Structure 1
Amino acid sequence: MKKIKSITLVLWCLVFLLGCKEDILAPLEQDEVAPGMISSPSTVSTAGAVKITYNLPSDEDLMYVMAEYTTKYGKVVRTKASSYINSLTIDGFADTAVYDVNLYAVDNSENRSKPMTIQVRAQEPAIFGIRRSIELVDDFGGINIRFKNPTEANIALVVSYKDSLGNFSTKETIYTKVKEGNFSSRGFSSQETIFGVYIRDRWDNRTDTAIASLTPIFERQLDKSKFKVSTLPTDAAVGWGLPVANLWDRVIAAEGSMWHTADVGMPLQVSFDLGVTAKLSRFTLWQRQGVWIYNHGNPKRYEVWGSNNPATDGSYTNWTKLVSCESKKPSKQPTGLNSNEDVAAAARGEEWTIPLDAAPVRYIRIRVLEVWIGPGGKAAHVSEMTFFGNDK
C-alpha cells in the first residue's frame, strides 16, 4: 500500500512540474521599466573589427549590452556582451567605411534602453591584404598558390577555372590560417587554362578574383614496375622478412606487405631506384595500417632525399634533400586512441609536395628521424609509397 502511495505521489509531482513548465522557463522578474543608457563609449579598430568599451548603467537587473548595425549588404548584425564586462567586439566588417552602431542596455525582462549611437570604422579586413600578396604559377597538373597571411586569419581560398563553355567552375576550396601559404590545386591536363582564385572569410566577405592564364606542367604517376631495390652499406637491415620492395607492391592494407626494418635505432634510412630519372612533383606515403596507425614504427618525422649518382659508401655525398616531413594526427589524441578522422586520414595516405625548383632524380632515400612510438623507437615500417612527376 505504501508503495502505491509513493508512486502516486511521484506521478502528481511530474504532472505539477509539466504544468508549470512555462513558468519555470520564464524570466524570474517581469517589468516594463527600461534600464539606463550606457555611457562614455570609446573604440579601438583592428582588421575587420572594432572593440567598444563603455560604462554600464547602475540598474540591478541589467543582463547584457547589445550592439546593432546594418552591413553594406543590408543585413542587421547584433553582438551581445554580458553585464559582467564593460566591452564588446564587433567583427566581420567588409570594408573601412563608417558605420552607425546602436548600443543598448538590456535587462532581465528584455527591456531595451534608449540607443547610444556611435560611429565606427574598422581597419581593412585581413582578406584584402592577403589578396594583394597572392602569386599564381604553373605547377604539376595544375597551379601553385602562394600568399602571406601575417595575422593568421581563418580564410577560404576558392580555386576556379574557365571551362569549355567559357564559364568559371569551382575546382576546390582550401581552408587555412597558415602565415605563409603554399598550396597546389591539381587535376588539370597540360594545356593553357584560365584560373581564378579569390579569398573568403567566415563572415562571407570576399575579395576580387586573381586571374592567370597558365599551362599546368605534365605529371603522371611513376611506373612502379620499374622500381628496383638499391641497398647501400648504411641502409637499415630488413626485419621480420619484410623487404624494401614491399614499398611499391601496390598493396596497402595487408599486414604482410610492408617494409620493416630490424631494430637499428634512429636515424635510419632506406634507398631505392625509381628506374627512371624524373622531375618529381609529389609523393604519397601510407603508414602500416590497422592498430598500428600513428603508432609503433610508423614514421613521424622523416626526410626524402634524391640523387642521380649515390655514393657507393652509403654516405650523403651526391644526395640532395627534397623535403622534410612531419606526420600529423588529425585528432591529436594520445597514441593508441584513433578517431574516425584519424583512420580515414591514414587510409588516404600522407601526400607531400616536392619543391618546383628541385632537380630531376633517379634514386630515393628515406631518412627516418623519429617514429610514432617515440624518440626511443628503434625500427620503422611503411606500407606503400607512390611517386608522381615528369619522367619524359
Structure 2
Amino acid sequence: MNMGTHKKNYKMRKNISSLLILIISTLLMITCTDSYMGIEQVKTSSVKPEKITIKEVVPKSGALEIHFTLPKGNPDISQVVASYINKQGEKMEFKVSRYSSFILVEGFIGTSERTVELACIDNSGNQSETTVVKAAPLISPVELALQTMKIEPAFGGIKVEWENPQGNPFVIHVLTADTLQKGIVSLEEDLKQVIYSRDSTNTFAYIRPYAAIKQDFGFYVSDKWKNKTDTLIGSFTPFKEELIDFNLVEPVTYFNPTYYGGSRDYDTYAINPATGIQNDGNCHGSNFGPHKMFNGVITANDYYVYKFVRNLTDPDKSKQELEQNAYATFDLHMEVRLSRVKIYPRPSSSYTYNRSSVKRFRIWGTNDANTEKWAKFPETWTLIGEYVGKEPVSRDNLTAEEIEYFNYNQEYTISEDNVNPEAQTTATFRYMRLQLMESYNPVISYYTINEFEMFGDIQQYY
C-alpha cells in the first residue's frame, strides 16, 4: 500500500467516526429533554384526585370493614388511607393499595358511633378530599374477654376462662394483693403472671402458685391498640396443692418388671400365668427403670421401656404386632388426691411430638384397703384418669411455642383434661399404676419419659 492510499483510508475512517459522534450527540440531546443521566424522570402533577365512594360498612369486633370504590378514570391513584382519633387522643391510620376494595379499620373500644375519614392518594402524593364514615363497631375483643371472664379456685391457685371467638391477640393482666404498709393493702400487677391470648380454643389459664388462703385478685385486658378495660376484682381461696416429693416415690415389683435390652415376646413374658394380669414393662436396663421417672432430672435420657411384641418368634415378620400397653407401678408412700401431672420427654428434637414420647396414658390408683390389689387388676383398682397429648398444627413445622410447651410445660389437669367418663378423678390413693397406651409414633417399639412430675393434696404420709 502506498502513502497516498494510506492517507485516504485514514481520512475516511476519521469522517465515519465524526459522523457517529454527531449522531450519538443528537440522540442524547433529544432524549435529555425528558431524562437525566439516562434515567426517566417521574412526571408529577398538583391536581388532587376525586373523592372515593363508600359502598358498604360492615361492623366487626372492635373494627369497621369499609368497602369503597375509587374514582373512575384515574390510573395514578396509589393507595387509600383511613384514620380516626382514638380515646387517648392519638391519630390511628390504616392504608391499603389501589388494588384493594375494602379497608379494615381496627382498634375501637365501645359500641358507640365512631367517625372515620378516608382519602385516596395518587402517585404524585396528592390527597383527595376526605370522605367521612360514621358507624358503630361491635364489642371489642378485650371487652368481650372481660365480660365473659370466669374465675374460680383451682389447686395451688385460680383458673381463669374467657372467650376469644376470632382468635384476636390481647393480654390479660393479673393483679394480686400487695401490702404497702400496715393496714393498707392494694392490688398491684404481677408481671410474672401475664396471660397472652391469640386463639379461639385455648381460652383458659391457671395462675399459680398461691397459698390456700382467701385473697384478692384483679384482672384487666389490653391490646396492641392501647385499649384497656376496667378491672374485674374478686376474692378466692385456692385449693391446697403440693409438689409430690419424688424422693418418696418407689417402684414396686408385684407386677414382675424385667430388665433386658431388647423387645420380648408377649406370650412368653407379658402375662402372669398365676393372675392373668399383664406384667409391668421390660426396661432397657437398670439405668432406665421406673425409678428414673422420679429423680428430679428433666434433661436426661432416663426411663426406657419396651412394648411387648406378639408373635415375636414367628419367622414371618408380617405377623409380629406391638402391644401398645406398657405398665409401671409405684408406692407413693402417701395418700394423695392428684391435681395435675407434668411429663418431661427426652429433650432431643427427634422426640418432640414424635418417636417414643408418650401421647396417651392412664393413671390407676388404689390403697391398702384393697387386699387384692396385686392379684386383681383392673377390677379392684380405680381409674383416676386418661389423658391424651396435644398435636401441633404441623409436625413438620413446629413453632417455638409448641416446642417449649412439649418439652417443659406438658401439663395435664387431673379433672379437666381427663377424657374417660368412667374415671374417678377426685379419688385418693397410695399406689399408682401408670399405663402407657400410645406413643407419638406407634410403630416405635418402646416408650421414653424423662420425668413424671405430680402435684396434689396430700392426706397423709406412710
TM over 0.5: yes
SS of the residue aligned with 1:131?
A: helix
Instruction: Give the structure 1 partner of residue 163 of structure 2.
Output: 148
- State the shift of 1:140 in Å: 1.9
Q: 1:200 to 1:63 in 2, by over 3 A?
A: same
Equivalent residue, structure 1, for 2:422: none
Paired residues of 1:286 and 1:384 also in contact (CA < 8 A): yes
* 1:108 is aligned to 2:123: yes
Distance 1:214 1:98, change over 3 A: same
Where in structure 2 are there 5+ consecutive unaligned residues? 1-37, 256-276, 310-321, 417-424
**Residue of 245, 250, 256 corresponding to 1:228:** 250
How far did residue 311 of structure 1 move? 7.4
The answer on whether the counterparts of 2:175 and 2:188 sit within 8 Å (CA) in structure 1 is: yes
Q: How does 1:1-392 map to 2 (within 5 A)?
A: 28-58=42-72, 59-165=74-180, 166-171=185-190, 172-176=193-197, 177-179=199-201, 181-230=203-252, 232=255, 233-241=277-285, 242-255=288-301, 257-264=302-309, 265=322, 267-273=324-330, 274-290=332-348, 292-294=350-352, 295-299=354-358, 301-308=359-366, 309=370, 312-315=375-378, 318-328=381-391, 332-334=394-396, 345=405, 348-355=408-415, 358-372=426-440, 374-392=441-459
In the TM superposition, residue 61 of structure 1 has moved relative to its aligned partner by 0.5
Q: Give the Å deviation of 1:384.
A: 1.2
2-structure distance, mates of 1:207, 1:384: 41
Identity fraction in percent: 23
Q: Offset of 1:37 from its aligned partner?
A: 0.8
Q: Distance in 2 between matches of 1:27 and 1:269?
A: 77
Tell me the secondary structure at the aligned position of residue 163 of structure 1: strand
- Structure 2 CA distance, aligned partners of 1:314 and 1:246? 24
* Cα distance in 2 between the residues matched to 1:117 and 1:62: 19
Q: Which amino acid aligns with 2:334?
A: V
- Offset from partner CA, 1:128-150 (integer Å, 9 cap, x none): 23322222122222111123333
Question: Aligned equivalents of 2:41 and 2:278: distance in 1?
Answer: 76
Q: Which has the larger radius of gyration?
A: 2
Q: How far off its partner does 1:341 sit?
A: 6.5
Moved more, 238-247 or 261-270: 261-270
Note the alpha carbon deviations across 1:121-176, whole angstroms, 9 max, x for none: 10111332332222212222211112333343333221221112223222311112
What SS does the corresponding residue of 2:147 show, helix, strand or coil? helix
Is the 8 Å Cα contact of residues 266 and 369 (structure 1) preserved in structure 2?
no
Q: If the length of structure 1 is used for normalisation, what is the TM-score?
A: 0.82
Shift of 1:180: 6.3
CA distance in 1, matches of 2:375, 2:164: 45
Quick check: 1:152–1:178 contact (8 Å CA) kept in 2? yes
1:244-276 Cα distance to aligned partner (Å, 9 max, x none) = 121112333333x32422454353132423222
Give the TM-score of the pair, scaled to structure 2.
0.71
SS at match of 1:78: strand
1:210: how far off?
Answer: 1.7
Secondary structure at the counterpart of residue 361 of structure 2: strand
CA contact (8 A) 1:237 1:262 kept: yes
1:30 to 1:137, Cα distance in 2 relative to 1, 3 A = same
Alignment CA distance shift 1:360-1:155 (3 Å) = farther
Are 1:235 and 1:314, in contact at CA under 8 Å, matched by a contact in 2? no
Report the 3-state secondary structure (helix = DSSP H, G, I; strand = E; otherwise coil) of the residue aligned with 2:110: coil
The code of the aligned residue for 2:134 comes to: Q
C-alpha change, 1:340 and 1:194, in structure 2 (3 Å) is closer
The answer on whether the counterparts of 1:236 and 1:261 sit within 8 Å (CA) in structure 2 is: no
Call closer, same or farther: CA 1:62–1:332 in 2, change over 3 Å.
same
Would you identify which runs of 4 or more consecutive aligned residues in structure 1 move more than 4 Å? 337-347
Count of residues paired in the alignment: 364
